[in-house]
Amino acid sequence: MNVLMAATAASLFALGTYLLLQRKLSRIIIGLGLLGHGANVLFVNAGRRGRAPLIGASDPSTFADPMPQALVLTAIVISFGTTALLLALAYRSWMLTDDDEVADDVEDRAVARAGFADRELDDEAALAADLEATTAGTAEDLEGPGLGGDGDPTLAGTPDTLPTEDPR
Amino acid sequence: MRVLLPLPVLLPLAAAAVSILVGRSRRWQRIVSISTLTAVVGLAVAILVEVDRDGIVATQAGDWGAPLGITLVADRFSAVMLVVASVVLLAVVIYAVGQPGAERNHVGFQSVYLVLAAGVAAAFLTGDLFNLFVAIEMMLTASYVLITLGGRLDQVRAGMTYVVISLVASILFLAALAFTYSATGTVNLADLSGRIAELPDGVQGGLAGLFLVVFGIKAGLFPLYFWLPDSYPTAPSPVTAIFAGLLTKVGVYAIIRTQTLLFPGVLPTWLVMAVAGATMVVGVLGAIAQDDVKRLLSFHIISHIGYMLMGLGLATVAGLAGAVFYTVHHILVKTTLFLTGGLIEHHGGSSRLSRLGDMVRGAPLLAVLFLVPALSLAGIPPMSGFVAKLSLVDAAAEERQWAMVVVSVAVSLLTLFALMKIWMGAFWAPVTEGEDGRPPAPDARGGPRSRWGGPALMVVPTVVLALGTVVLGVLSGPLYDLSTRAATDLVDPEPYVTAVLGDGPTDLADDDGDAGGGGPAQDGPVGGGGPAQDGPAGGGG
């Protein structure tokens, strides 16, 4: 029986975690519900099993431990409240965006883009410099011996430019 | 005075109810919440004086015996935290009343804020792991509402992240409680203190790690901080200020309380130190990259949580005293900085550094208000931050943790750099033009621009808190002594246990519980002693 309860808690945790990793808010909320149930099942099983604890009705040593049950009841009430709030939030999100997908952090992307933009500028400058060098090279080559030969200096030039870009 | 103990929790809760009843009149709502929070400040100071003079005070709600009933305990650490938290709560509510748009449009603001105050007080005063869970939930549920009160798109998005992460942490907390209960048969902190020491090393380590993760999410420790800078900045500035000042510190309080009382010496020092160091470095580097004032400050919170954890990791009286002092100082200073950030936004019409500038001409007072806490945070001598950092670095040097000494001093310098970024960008740089080609609106919310930087109700609380950090720095002697006494309490849990469970050994307290009639079931897993205990624990593993 204990193994069964442990397995129940474990599968609730597993399912909850899977749903939590989705992008849709509705699934995340269901996932949180399952995780909460998993924790509650775990907690109820933390106490001793036995008969209903009624003083005077039976031998105290056969009582079930009432403490975890009382505590879990509190936890259930709390998760009820927070789930209601989450559902309201999801509804609000759906009203505002017609979607309940959790969006990325705009500010994070802005910071990332700022760094990226700097790098792009550097790259462009490097590319321009390389192009200048290679076109200068080709121009000389073009003036030189033949067109056909082992020419293709643009192709020969590109591998040289790559390693210089790599460290960035 | 045992009667005083429940009042910091009960008063705000009752006031929250009254605040809803008088919801039609904003004026009455404000009167109720400001007078209640003023009373809580008085109560907190009374409790601190009492506890510092006579030692730990404990009371059992409803007079149920110690391991079973709802225990409220105040030792020096929790009393100090309660005092500084209630002062900050009062200052911020006055600021919120003064700020146009923050709370004026919402009937629920004052009552939810009072529930938050009750939750914070309950978290500091509880002597019971499960009631700590309830208190933190109370505080967090109120914070979910506060962070999404405007219902704007960015608030909903950020609030979602915040709520989901907090709920996951709460569920983990519940699971950790379940493991603790099945291993020991109690959730009373004082009772656990003895019981956990009897468990096998592996079980102790697992529980200690689980609790560190749970509270680490709430406090924003190194790998678990990602939600914080994302969600805090979207709320109105008084709300962000109270979150920054208090919510993470409740997490820190819970870490210090559980690790010193329940798991002394269980987690290896190198692990705590590594987490502390990484938290400091990552937080400050994240802050430097930001452009938005509120986001920069939010990243900063993370960095400074690392210092408090470092004090805990040292596990000496000096280290813990430093951590206590640092926490008190940080609550004050961080709240002041966020309130000033709100004033900057109010005055400049934006919180983006790229759009602000030249404010030293328009609002010189704001410049001073920013500079004082900023220098304090960076650890410049006359302010409280200097004493806080010096005591931690000194304690680390005493323990020969040279790596931590180097990291913490280097992070201080980077802190200064990050804050100077705001200082230069908002106050001294020439005004940059907005993206649409015209300069940013002088005061987006309308109304005349004041040389004081904002309405008096916003400026005065900020000035008071900013003076607080200077006073803490100048009068640091008595406070540091108090922190040392608090740390001595933390290192030796014996008086705490005695205060809660009575003078007799734990078994005696159990017998009392039996006599009360509620205890028999408890007696089974608990009174059975070693062998009965090992059964379920071994089977669970």
Residue B473 has what pLDDT?
85
In Å, the largest CA–CA distance within chain A is: 113
Confidence of residue A154 (pLDDT cuts 50, 70, 90): very low
The most confident of A49-63, B136-150, B522-536, by mean pLDDT = B136-150
Taking contacts as CB-CB distances below 8 angstroms, the residues of chain A near B154 are: 106
Say if the Cβ atoms of A43 and B295 lie within 8 Å. no
- pLDDT surpasses 80 at A153: no
Taking contacts as CB-CB distances below 8 angstroms, the residues of chain B near A55 are: 517, 520
CB B206 within 8 A of CB B247: no
- Quote the CA–CA distance of B114 and B16 in Å, as a whole number: 5
- Read off the amino acid at residue A120: E
- pLDDT surpasses 70 at B351: yes
Return mean pLDDT, chain B.
83
Of B156-165, B172-181, B198-207, B331-340, the least confident: B156-165
Q: What is the pLDDT of residues A31-48, one digit of tens each?
A: 999 999 999 999 988 888
**What share of chain B in percent tops pLDDT 70?**
88
Residue B2 has what pLDDT?
77
Q: How many CB atoms within 10 Å of residue B310?
A: 29
DSSP state of B4: G
The most confident of A68-82, A137-151, B228-242, by mean pLDDT = A68-82
- Quote the CA–CA distance of A6 and B143 in Å, as a whole number: 33
Q: What is the mean pLDDT of residues B205-218?
A: 93
A-interface mutation test, from B145, B166, B182, most A Cβ less than 10 A away: B182
Closest in A61, A78, A81 to B524, CB measured: A61
Rg (CA), chain B: 23
In Å, the largest CA–CA distance within chain B is: 79
- pLDDT surpasses 70 at B20: yes
Say if the Cβ atoms of A68 and B178 lie within 8 Å. yes
Among B512, B493, B535, B529, residue whose Cα is nearest residue B67? B512
- Quote the CA–CA distance of B379 and B478 in Å, as a whole number: 19
Closest in B167, B230, B520 to A32, CB measured: B167
Residue A135 has what pLDDT?
66
Say if the Cβ atoms of B144 and A68 lie within 8 Å. no
Say if the Cβ atoms of B171 and A36 lie within 8 Å. yes
Does ipTM exceed 0.95?
Answer: no
CB B151 within 8 A of CB B508: no
Residue B449 has what pLDDT?
57
Residue B349 has what pLDDT?
76
Q: Chain A contact for B456, CB < 8 A?
A: no
CB B375 within 8 A of CB B408: no
Residue B149 has what pLDDT?
83
Residue B523 has what pLDDT?
38
- pLDDT surpasses 70 at B18: yes
**What share of chain B in percent tops pLDDT 90?**
37
B386 to chain A, closest Cα gap in Å: 32
> For B235-254, what is the HEC assignment?
CCHHHHHHHHHHHHHHHHHH
Chain A with chain B: Cβ pairs closer than 8 A: 133
A42 to chain B, closest Cα gap in Å: 6
Q: What is the mean pLDDT of residues B162-187?
A: 91
Say if the Cβ atoms of A63 and B182 lie within 8 Å. no
Taking contacts as CB-CB distances below 8 angstroms, the residues of chain A near B292 are: 107
Give the SS3 label for residue B61. strand
Confidence of residue B532 (pLDDT cuts 50, 70, 90): very low
Of A13-22, B128-137, B255-264, B425-434, the least confident: B425-434
Q: Which residue has the higher pLDDT, B445 or B128?
A: B128
CB B257 within 8 A of CB B308: no
Taking contacts as CB-CB distances below 8 angstroms, the residues of chain B near A56 are: none
A-interface mutation test, from B139, B147, B155, B157, most A Cβ less than 10 A away: B157
pTM of the model: 0.83
- pLDDT surpasses 50 at B522: no
- Quote the CA–CA distance of B384 and B322 in Å, as a whole number: 12
CB B432 within 8 A of CB B291: no
Residue A117 has what pLDDT?
65
Taking contacts as CB-CB distances below 8 angstroms, the residues of chain A near B130 are: 71, 74
Confidence of residue B204 (pLDDT cuts 50, 70, 90): very high
Residue B530 has what pLDDT?
35
Q: What is the mean pLDDT of residues B495-506?
A: 73
Closest in A2, A39, A42 to B539, CB measured: A2
Residue B505 has what pLDDT?
45
Say if the Cβ atoms of A63 and B167 lie within 8 Å. no
- Quote the CA–CA distance of A160 and A133 in Å, as a whole number: 11
Say if the Cβ atoms of B145 and A60 lie within 8 Å. no
The residue in chain B having the minimum alpha-carbon distance to the alpha carbon of residue A5 is B540
- Quote the CA–CA distance of B334 and B298 in Å, as a whole number: 9
- pLDDT surpasses 90 at B45: yes
Q: Quote the tokens at residue A104.
A: 């990325």
A54 to chain B, closest Cα gap in Å: 10
Q: How many CB atoms within 10 Å of residue B22?
A: 15
Of B4-8, B343-347, B372-376, B515-519, the least confident: B515-519
Among B257, B266, B123, residue whose Cα is nearest residue B196? B266
- Quote the CA–CA distance of B393 and B402 in Å, as a whole number: 9
Say if the Cβ atoms of B156 and A93 lie within 8 Å. yes
